[in-house]
Each structure stands twice: as C-alpha cells, then as structure tokens.
Amino acid sequence: MRVELSEVTLDVEVSGEGPAVLLVHGFPDSHHLWRHQVAALNAAGFTTVAPTLRGFGASERPEGGVEAYHPGKHVGDLVELLARLELDRVHLVGHDWGSGIAQGLTQFFPDRVRSLSILSVGHLASIRAAGWEQKQRSWYMLLFQLAGLAEDWLARDDFAGMRDMLGEHPDAEAVIEGLRAPGALTAALNVYRAGIPAEVQFGPEAPAVPLPESVPVMGVWSTGDRFLTERSMSGTAEFVNGPWRYERVEDAGHWLQLDQPEKVNELLLSFLKENS
C-alpha cells in the first residue's frame, strides 16, 4: 500500500492481526527484506508493518539534497506512519541502517516502543569503541561520503562495485535492479552522508545517548558479517539502561534474516512473546 505522509509517500506492507511489529530495513534494501519474518510473525498472531524507507525501493525520493535523508527524517516518517495507522505502541525491529533508525526512534519516543530488536548494527558508541578491526570493516562509509565518485565506482561496469560489496546478499541482483532508477543510488547513499559523516566516525566522542530503561533490547549479530565485528554489537550492553539480551546466529552473513530465516524468526518470536 502507498501511505502519504507530510513530506513523502512510502511503500508499506501491512498484514496480520495482533500486536504490531514495525520492521525497518537498511541499506540498500526495501521492505521485501523481511518477507520470511512477515510470514512467521503473522502466523504467530502479530500484525507486521514493513515500510520501505524514503529514498529506497518504491518509496518516494524527496528533493532537498543530503539533509532530506538524515536519520532524523526517517524517524519522523516512522512516527508519522504509526499515527496514520493508529498504532500507539509497537515492537520495533531494525537491521543495518534500520537498526540505527530504530534506536533513534526508541531514544526519542520510548513511549511508542514495547521492545527493540537490533540486527547487525549496535549502538553507535559501541561501534566507535570496537577498535581497529571495526574501522577497517567500515572503510566503505568513507567512500560513500564522496558524492559522485562513490556512485561512479559502485555503478561502473554494470554495478560491479556494488555487486562485489553485496557479496553474499541473496537478493543482490534484485537490489541492483532497483538502484538503476534515476537518483536511486544517490538517495540510498545519502543516509550515510547525512547520518555518519567522517566527523561522526572519527571526531571527538560526544556523550552517548543510552537506550531507555523502559524498553527491553535484543541485539543479534551473525558470525559471517563482513561489515561489523561481534564487539560492536556485544558492547552495546554498556549503552542499554533496560533489560538486554544478546544472541549470535551461526552460518549467516550480514543479511542474516535471509540466510537463516528460521533461526532469526525463532529469536524474534521468543523475544516478542517475552515482552508482549
């Protein structure tokens, strides 16, 4: 369905009946990333709301340059989406950039969140504190700051650079096809440019905003993640004021919900039922 918000129209999949679960994808995906989780959650008695974020997939790509894609804009879209759907509180699940956006929503609107499940990407302060190995794995974030050059490198030779970067992504070809649309690649990269410029990665540490006491948090990391170290997720415990649960998923890459859907579904259902 298409949901018109004040600044942008989003492509959103809503299905099922019961307590609501908001599923937030990351770079460079769409709500299709969650198809295995949607089916399992609906079967278990949950409503799922899976939006495609602004700038991605079939959702609109607003004008306004980099700032139109600041993570705060995404948080605002999600809060407005919940209001449009008349949902007061939700279980929140985020992957990759969706994890960061979900954490932001939880920090600023804790009364809207029953529980928070973060996949792959932990708290920013934990990522910054995760040492040299994590900085090596995050090299591409600096490339993404270089407007024009990053687009050229990723799209050159029929998206060879993007194809290499996506690596084991089970939906790589479908994702690349979506990035061929005019402006799609730049819009997808703009969340990095607005949300995690070099100053955020390497500048003096700002005071960390912890996840609130009222929200239980589960962090899930996969052993084959090429982009994120285990320490970046397990260290998130230091920045969670409420209940914290940590889980590892074996034999899965960065897109663990596609590589090991049954295991991810098992973890999500266990955590959601504990906190419903």
Q: What is the pLDDT of residues 23-34, one digit of tens each?
A: 999 999 999 999
Q: Amino acid identity of 50?
A: A
Confidence of residue 259 (pLDDT cuts 50, 70, 90): very high
Q: Is residue 57 part of a domain?
A: yes
Q: Is residue 149 part of a domain?
A: no
The first and second tokens of residue 72, run together, are 């705060």
- Average pLDDT of 119-140? 96
The mean of the pLDDT values for the chain is 97
State the sign of the Cα–Cα–Cα–Cα dihedral 36, 42, 43, 45.
Answer: positive
Q: Amino acid identity of 213?
A: E
Whether the pTM exceeds 0.95: the reply is yes
User: Residues 6 or more apart from 63 whose CB is under 8 A from it?
Assistant: none
Q: Is residue 101 part of a domain?
A: yes
Number of domains in the chain: 1
- What's the confidence (pLDDT) of residue 276? 87
Q: Is residue 105 part of a domain?
A: yes
62: domain range? 1-134+205-272
Could you tell me which of 207, 275, 211 has the C-alpha nearest to residue 241? 211
Q: Give the domain CATH number at 259.
A: 3.40.50.1820
Q: Is residue 64 part of a domain?
A: yes
Q: Is residue 166 part of a domain?
A: no
User: Residues 6 or more apart from 217 whose CB is under 8 A from it?
Assistant: 115, 116, 117, 118, 211, 236, 240, 242, 243, 244, 245
Greater confidence (64 vs 251) lies with 251
Q: Is residue 194 part of a domain?
A: no
pLDDT tens-digit series, residues 144-177: 999 999 999 999 999 999 999 999 999 999 999 9
Could you tell me which of 125, 83, 79 has the C-alpha nearest to residue 101? 79
pLDDT beyond 90 at 12: yes
- Average pLDDT of 192-203? 91
Q: Is residue 69 part of a domain?
A: yes
Could you tell me which of 269, 271, 224 has the C-alpha nearest to residue 243? 271
